[in-house]
Amino acid sequence: MIEAPDRLLGIREVAELFGVDISTVRRWERAGHLRAVRVGERGHRRFRRQEIQRLIDSLGESSSSAS
């Protein structure tokens, strides 16, 4: 199945992709490292899949160039 590039991910999904706790993802968002879209009455954080993938790709490039 091909995912839409503009799909929104929940905070737990993002945390799993990076292998970190959800509190870390919240900190990254507050610090401006990630941009969240707030949805619903309670303002739940959602993250654009395309943006998260770009960050993952850039982290992979920087770690491979450090070798």
Specify the CATH number for the domain of residue 24.
Answer: 1.10.1660.10
| pLDDT score for 1 | 45
Which band of pLDDT confidence, cut at 50, 70 and 90, is reported for residue 28? very high
Report which of 63, 62, 56, 10 is spatially closest to residue 36, judged by C-alpha positions: 10
**Average model confidence (pLDDT) across the chain:** 88
Residue 47: pLDDT over 60:
yes
The stretch 41-53 carries a mean pLDDT of 94
Rg, Å, the chain Cα set: 13
Domain annotation covers residue 3? no
Which band of pLDDT confidence, cut at 50, 70 and 90, is reported for residue 56? confident
Which band of pLDDT confidence, cut at 50, 70 and 90, is reported for residue 59? confident
Domain annotation covers residue 13? yes
Domain annotation covers residue 2? no
